[in-house]
């Protein structure tokens, strides 16, 4: 089972790192002028998800929640076990903060798509400021949670009482944990990691519904090309609304473990094994649904050793226009992630 989850983490983490580096490159150098401002959010996604994937492969976390008690045990089986417990603890704190920032970034993304239907596009600087404002919530978590971990010799005494049927003495990974989740910093970290997801997810589906309703009301004023672009947009919105469910499943597994509803090694390994799917798969929605990115990806697949575009390649396409209440919004197949 350990070997299976080790392969799982490495496979998804390496795939996620590659896809997010590719997405960041395309967002920086291949974004059409029409989505230059929104590309700021795409770069934010790519950077966050890349760090998350890299840390996941470094840590390969097994989470053992003590049923009915405010205590957590962590076993890190990744390469961090060779660099010491401090690197595992700090790395895990930053992994958690990437997960939470991804959730907030998704809310910003959907919120901006709804905003752009009725208002002019925001500047890149404004979007950067908004992202930083939300990032502070996660940064506080990253800088403080690692201070709550206790050393192996202390946690193993408690672990033998909580999990007498586990042979933790022979555990080769870094064994550590948090023995007081009632501490303010622990409450903040756990609450910020788990609780925002569900209200944010409900808000995302609400915004998605409003966007679809608005686009449907404007369909009579659209050209065939614009209608086709909107059809792609709806597919993109659906895909991006589904992928975060992997994190939702991981959160539910944690609650099931903490409450004592289910306890098993497979469950303990699965919490973060499922979490890695969100940052690994998320870039695919942009790489596929943003037309200039998709065309570049196809060219890379045809010739993987030629990254740079030919001089005559351009990240442009014919665009249609549809109108909001007060002003026109330009819309094309290349900017479907904006609107």
Task: Classify 72 as helix, strand or coil.
Answer: strand
Cα 166 to Cα 66, 150, 169, 224, distances in angstroms: 13, 19, 9, 63
Q: Note the pTM of the prediction, 2 decimals.
A: 0.84
Cα–Cα distance measured from residue 276 to residue 74, given in angstroms and rounded to the nearest whole number: 17
b/e map of 147-159 (b: 16 or more CB within 10 Å)? Answer: ebbbeeeebbebb
What's domain 2-335's architecture? Up-down Bundle (1.20)
Residue percentage of the chain with pLDDT more than 90: 45
- The answer to whether residue 236 scores a pLDDT higher than 90 is no
Q: Which of 75-89, 217-231, 268-282, 306-320 has the lowest mean pLDDT?
A: 306-320
Q: Which residues pair with 319 in a beta bridge?
A: 332
- Classify burial at 48, counting beta carbons within 10 Å of its beta carbon; exposed 0-12, middle 13-18, buried 19 or more: buried
Residue 279 has a pLDDT of: 94
Residue 198 has a pLDDT of: 87
Q: Which of 175-184, 219-228, 328-337 has the lowest mean pLDDT?
A: 328-337
DSSP assignment of 217-247 equals HTGGG--HHHHHHHHHHHHHHHHHHHTTHHH
* Segment 132-165, tens digit of pLDDT: 999 999 999 999 999 999 998 888 888 888 888 8
Highest mean pLDDT among 56-60, 210-214, 232-236, 297-301: 56-60
The two structure tokens encoding residue 258: 């903490």
Cα 312 to Cα 234, 309, 330, distances in angstroms: 31, 8, 24
């Amino acid at each position: 089972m350990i070997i299976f989850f080790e392969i799982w983490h490495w496979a998804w983490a390496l795939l996620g790192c590659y896809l997010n580096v590719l997405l960041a490159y395309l967002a920086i150098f291949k974004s059409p002028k029409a989505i230059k401002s929104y590309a700021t959010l795409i770069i934010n996604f790519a950077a966050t998800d890349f760090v998350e994937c890299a840390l996941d492969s470094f840590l390969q976390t097994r989470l053992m929640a003590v049923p009915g008690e405010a205590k957590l045990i962590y076993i890190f089986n990744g390469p961090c076990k060779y660099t010491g417990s401090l690197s595992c603890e700090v790395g895990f704190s930053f992994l958690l903060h990437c997960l939470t920032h991804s959730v907030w970034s998704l809310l910003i993304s959907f919120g901006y798509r709804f905003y752009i239907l009725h208002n002019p596009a925001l500047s890149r600087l404004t979007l950067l400021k908004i992202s930083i404002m939300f990032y502070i919530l996660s940064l506080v978590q990253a800088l403080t949670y690692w201070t709550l971990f206790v050393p192996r010799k202390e946690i193993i005494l408690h672990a033998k009482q909580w999990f007498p049927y586990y042979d933790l003495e022979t555990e080769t990974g870094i064994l550590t944990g948090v023995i007081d989740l009632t501490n303010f910093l622990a409450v903040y970290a756990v609450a910020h990691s788990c609780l925002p997801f569900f209200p944010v997810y409900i808000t995302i589906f609400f915004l998605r519904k409003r966007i679809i309703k608005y686009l449907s009301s404007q369909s009579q004023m659209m050209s065939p090309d614009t209608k086709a672009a909107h059809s792609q947009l709806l597919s993109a919105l659906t895909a991006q609304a589904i992928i975060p469910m992997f994190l939702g499943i991981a959160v539910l597994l944690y609650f099931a473990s903490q409450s004592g509803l289910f306890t098993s090694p497979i469950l303990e390994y699965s919490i973060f094994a499922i979490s890695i799917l969100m940052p690994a798969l998320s870039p695919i929605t942009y790489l596929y649904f943003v037309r200039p990115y998709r065309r570049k990806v196809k060219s890379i697949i045809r010739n993987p050793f030629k990254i740079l575009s030919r001089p005559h390649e351009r990240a442009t396409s014919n665009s249609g226009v549809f109108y909001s209440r007060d002003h026109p919004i330009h819309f094309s197949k290349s900017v479907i992630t904006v609107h």
